[in-house]
Amino acid sequence: GDSVTQMEGPVTLSEEAFLTINCTYTATGYPSLFWYVQYPGEGLQLLLKATKADDKGSNKGFEATYRKETTSFHLEKGSVQVSDSAVYFCALDAGGTSYGKLTFGQGTILTVHP
């Protein structure tokens, strides 16, 4: 079945450091890929998405490129801020008969210190 694997966390960085959170997936066909972010005490909100191979999603300084050859969708940001501290989830929508279901990775906790 479909699955998403994220790098083990938690990740702790100093402000202005470079961030990479790895995400790889297993799916049949051509899934759409997402990064969702969950701030403390809140629900998940969409950070960025990509719907086909080589697409780059970007938002708020975060980027991720859909790499079909490596089945990856790594999240990157050049300079993190304290306000980026949150839990980040990689997810896929396999489409077709999955009827809108998102398959999530386990989540990566990011803490950014001043």
Partner 1 sequence: EAQVTQNPRYLITVTGKKLTVTCSQNMNHEYMSWYRQDPGLGLRQIYYSMNVEVTDKGDVPEGYKVSRKEKRNFPLILESPSPNQTSLYFCASSLLGRGANVLTFGAGSRLTVL
Q: Using CB under 8 A as the criterion, which residues of the chain lie in contact with partner 1 when the complex forms? A: 4, 32, 34, 36, 41-46, 49, 51, 89, 93, 99-102, 104-107
Whole-number minimum distance, CB 32 to partner 1, in Å? 4
Whole-number minimum distance, CB 92 to partner 1, in Å? 10
Q: Is 2 exposed, middle or buried (0-12, 13-18, 19+ CB in 10 A)?
A: middle
Instruction: Select from 31, 19, 104 the least CA-distant residue to 62.
Output: 19
Q: Which is nearer to partner 1, 70 or 97 (CB)?
A: 97
Whole-number minimum distance, CB 113 to partner 1, in Å? 23
